[in-house]
Amino acid sequence: MKEIIDWCNTNNGFLTGILSIVGLLLSTIAIAISIHTARLPYKKKVKLGSSTLIGAAIGGGLCASPAVMGFAASATNIGNRAVYMTYIGYAIKANGKYNKMYPINRDFDCKAILEPSEYKDVQFMTNELVQSFSNLDRRTKLYVYASDSEGKEYLRKVGTVGKLLDNLKAL
């Protein structure tokens, strides 16, 4: 123990250097944590989802068996600030670019301002999906796709076009 104390007394500059490096490291960590904490109120994060719309046709007083009526793409703001969504829906990737799906025979409102913890869903009926995807390769990947006013794209793979068409025929 006496040798350690003697060594520390004779090498004062070395220990000062080590303590300076430790101090700089702790200061850097504190600055990084404070920057991260300062950015939290401005965090933007969107979660995407897809769901199946199931309904039953009622005719003649009898309830028919359930049938797939379509699919819904949804976006939920799980961040801490409002996000202006310019598109929410489905897309396929072709030639390195995402091709968005739009209904042909109806107005399509796929824009929304999502406040924190709000969500918006956009529904696509069976006939629209079949019309849009029936001429595509069944192995084409299908995504829930959303984009915001700042140009950021959000994607979530939900399967393939073939799987979607098979699910439309289910039930």
Q: Please, are residues 84 and 149 in contact by the beta-carbon 8 Å criterion?
A: yes
pLDDT value of position 21: 95
pLDDT value of position 33: 96
pLDDT value of position 60: 53
pLDDT value of position 12: 78
d(CA 43, CA 80): 5
Helix axes 126-133, 161-169, angle to 10 degrees: 140
Per-residue pLDDT, averaged over 101-126, amounts to 84
Task: Give residue 166's pLDDT band: very low, low, confident or very high (50, 70, 90).
Answer: confident
Per-residue pLDDT, averaged over 80-107, amounts to 86
d(CA 115, CA 60): 44
Give the residue from 95, 103, 99, 115 showing the smallest Cα distance to 147: 99
pLDDT value of position 49: 93
What is the overall mean pLDDT for the chain? 85
Report residue 134: phi and psi, to 5°: -65, -25
Task: Give residue 69's pLDDT band: very low, low, confident or very high (50, 70, 90).
Answer: confident
Q: Please, are residues 119 and 75 in contact by the beta-carbon 8 Å criterion?
A: yes
Q: Please, are residues 112 and 85 in contact by the beta-carbon 8 Å criterion?
A: yes
